[in-house]
Structure formats: C-alpha cells, structure tokens
Amino acid sequence: MNAALEALKERGFLQQCTDLEGLSKLMDEGPVTFYEGCDPTGPSLHIGHMVPYFAMRHMHAAGHRAIVLMGGGTARIGDPSGKTTMRQIISYEEIDANTKRFLAQIDNFLRLDGKTMFSDNNKNWLADLNYIDFLRDIGRHFSVNRMLSFEAYRQRMETGLSFIEFNYQLLQSYDFLQLYKRHGCRLQIGGDDQWGNIVAGIELIRRVEGAECFGLTFPLVMTSDGKKMGKTEKGAIFLDPAMTSPYEFFQYWRNVTDADVERFLLMFTFLPPAECRELGRAKDAGINQAKERLAWEVTALIHGKDEADKALAAAKAAFGGAAAGDVSQIPSKILARAELGKGMGVLDLFVYSGLVPSKSEARRLVQQGGAVVNDRKIEDEKTVVDTGWLDAEGALMLRAGKKRVFRILTD
RNA sequence: GGGGAGAUUCCCGAGUGGUCAAAGGGGGCAGACUGUAAAUCUGUUGGCUUACGCCUUCGAAGGUUCAAAUCCUUCUCUCCCCA
C-alpha cells in the first residue's frame, strides 16, 4: 500500500475507501489533489471537526495537494446526514462570518500555503446556481429511489425530511465535480457519515466527466464509553479560546478514558506511532502521565506551546497538591477587596465564580459536601467569607467537587 | 382539500380538574471507591428562601373554574392516512 495511506491506517484513520487499491496506485504515481469540506454553521470549529484536518496534514506532508472546502453555500441548507432534526437556518451574514473564523482556525493549524494547500468555498459556484440548469445537468443523474435507500435518508423518513435537505447530496456531489474540474481534485475525504455523499459525488463525476475519483472516510470518533468525542455536557470542545479556554481544552484531554489514550494520541498528535502505543499501554500512574502528555500535545497544536505550558501548570496547581504548579494559571476572576471586606456569603461567592449557575445549586453543593474554599470544606451554607480568608497572595481558591477549581483574586 | 394523532421540565417519556415542580429512564452534578480514569454504589437534579412558603414552567394566546399540564376557543408547528 502507498506509504501515506499506510501511515493513516497505522494511526487509525481509515474507515472506508471506495477503492483502496486504485487510490494507493494513484498516490504512488504522484501528488494527488484531495479535499475535505465542512459547513461553517457555527462560530468555531470544535474537536469533532479536526479528524479530517489531522489526516490532511499527514497527507500533505506526504506530498499531496490539499483543498479545504468551506461550505459557504451548503451551510445555507443543512446536511441531514447523521442528524435527527433539521438544521437551523442561519443568515448569510452569519455564514460568512463563521467562514472567516473557520478559515483562520484552519490556517492556524494547517498553515495554508495557497499552492499545495489552499481553500475554496462552494458558495462560489452554488450561490448563483440556476435551478433549471442544475436540474437538467446534474439532477438527472440522481435516482430518488436510490437516494431513499441510503441510511441517512431512511432514518429521517421517520421524523421528517425537508426537500432542501434532501438536495444536500446533489450539492455536495456537485462540489466534488466542481473541484475536479477547477483543481483536478481526485479524492474526497471526510467523516464516515459523509460516505453516501462522497460516493454520490464520485458517481456524478464518472457520469459527467467519465473520470474515476476516490473517496476515503475516517471513523466517527467516539469515546470508549460511547459518547460523541469532543462533547461535554456544556457543549462541544471548541478551538476558539474564548469559547473553550485552553485550560478547559487541556482538561478535556487530560480526563480522557484510559482506553482512549492510545487511539487519541495516534489521531490527534504527531508523535510517532510506536511512542503513542507505548504511552497508551501504561497503567496507573503511567497512564496518567500519558494523559498529561496527550493533553499537552494537543493543546500545543491548537493553542501553541505557551498556552499548553500554562494549562499544564494550572492543572498541576489544581490537582497536584499545594506547590506543585502555578496557581496563577487557574481560571480566575477579580472581586473588589472592598466588596469582600463587607463579608460575602459562600453561596454568592460560588455563584460569582461561575462554578455554579444559581444559589440553589450552590446550596446543593454545600449540602453534598462538594464546596471547598482554600482547602477548607464548607459545612454550613450560611458561612460568610471576608478578607480574613484571603491567602498570602490575596486570593481564594474555590473548589466545586473534585474536578472544578476557580480562583477569586482581589484588587 | 378530507380524516386521524401529537406538542410535557436538558433528552426520552408518564401524567386527563386539586394529593403536580410534575412518575420512570437517560444525561448532568455531588459523595464513597480510585489514578483529575472506567465500572459500581448512594444522594441530588426549575428559581428565590435558614424555614413556613412564594414565584416561573407542561407549543402560543385567550377563556371556564375556588382550583387547569389536565376542560373550552383560536392560533402555530409536527407526524400518519385518504384525495
């Protein structure tokens, strides 16, 4: 098998390929242009988006040409694949703004050079599409019977599928065709939920252009306990530091399940496969170090080494005991000293920190024994905290349970 | 166009006049056990309140009633069947 594909396989990226042998041969012959598309439907990329971009980096490093396609056009509609409900329709302005942010984040990670790695936007050919022409030239190649047999649509038949969503596959197929014509793109990569759309695109190109193209999908990464990867209760883990702080980002990886360590190291870092496997094999204290490594590596890739160092220092301060790390890196907020001087109820203090959303929740926390201020467990919800509680640095260390830490600083 | 079913707290889903902030499950949070893991067990899970209690919530708006998630009217949306 082609070396680049072999490398992807070794790292656990390969899920399905339309013709692995054929693709391997093509890649052996020389640089292959490939693309991955993503619809800018939110303000930031999240971890779930990243699998294809990691794969892209590996492939680009092996000499192939990568196209990052922004679905500025398709975002106006919504992809029904793998969804149970219709996507929220968002405004064109919002899509454009999202596109800019996505591209900035992608560029930060991939370093688009404009030649061997560049972006395009399907808005360029979809926005002003003529409906009649599209039906004549493209629509006639699609069999509704066939489309209905796809799992993605079949599921939605139960709950309802609007006509515009039903068209998504045609548009994505058309994208592939356009990229083939404009950039000589021969391969589309993506998450496995895109399989049906990718195959449809390949077929369209075969019919219209008589050319053979390829599709390659990656596993939809789930955590070992069956949850969607990169999701927490609060929502997705975003790349935007304003939405998910580097510290939270780091902690997400730091708290990954043992069984996921090796897999995630392989997919979300560039450490050599042998090292990933070795780290993943560790037990007890060792596996914790491996998680720390995983967290640092991924954080460094996304937010830079400085941020990764800071996050690590904060984590050590929060969990490693007293002087193990740098407390200044723990998430914090400033409270006026004068305000605290008047005395503040612990419940209000916890609400102020944002560790809990309401006083009721704060009360529950105290009652259940999860509220700690400066290593002192709060037993009474009526406890009043004042400046006398401040530590040497004039700060308060708040803990909600064992995992959530917050510092209150004073001016 | 005709007929039928439905919209419940984060999700699924019970609930057909007071005993409903609303069963059960999932998820979350906290505690125990640990390794900042998993599994397991326990508690908890609208807001304000020390508490009595008060306020907001059962698609939307009105109405009946001492009292409504539950009854009536109109509206919005979803699904199914027939044309």
Per-residue model confidence (pLDDT) at position A121: 98
Rounded CA–C1' distance between A360 and B18, in angstroms: 28
Q: Is A58 a catalytic residue?
A: no
d(CA A296, CA A7): 23
Per-residue model confidence (pLDDT) at position A224: 67
Per-residue model confidence (pLDDT) at position A351: 94
ipTM of the complex: 0.88
Which CATH number does the domain A332-410 belong to among 3.30.70.250, 3.40.190.10, 3.40.50.300, 3.10.290.10?
3.10.290.10
Positions of CATH 3.40.50.620 in chain A: 3-218
Per-residue model confidence (pLDDT) at position A235: 66
Length of chain A: 411
Tell me the residue ranges of DSSP E strands in A80-236. 117-121, 187-191, 214-218, 231-232, 235-236
Per-residue model confidence (pLDDT) at position A307: 96
Q: Is A228 a catalytic residue?
A: yes
Instruction: Provide the token pair at A320.
Output: 């490693």
Positions of CATH 1.10.240.10 in chain A: 231-322
Please list the ranges in chain A whose pLDDT falls under 50.
Answer: none
Per-residue model confidence (pLDDT) at position A144: 84
Per-residue model confidence (pLDDT) at position A392: 87
Fold (CATH) for A3-218: Rossmann fold (3.40.50)
Instruction: Provide the token pair at A228.
Output: 């969607």
Please answer whether residues A116 and A66 qualify as being in contact, where contact means their C-beta atoms are separated by less than 8 angstroms. Answer: yes
The answer to whether domain A231-322 has CATH 1.10.240.10 is: yes
Per-residue model confidence (pLDDT) at position A118: 98
Rounded CA–C1' distance between A121 and B69, in angstroms: 49
Per-residue model confidence (pLDDT) at position A350: 95
State which residues between 133 and 172 of chain A bring their CB within 7 Å of strand B: 157-160
Positions of CATH 3.10.290.10 in chain A: 332-410
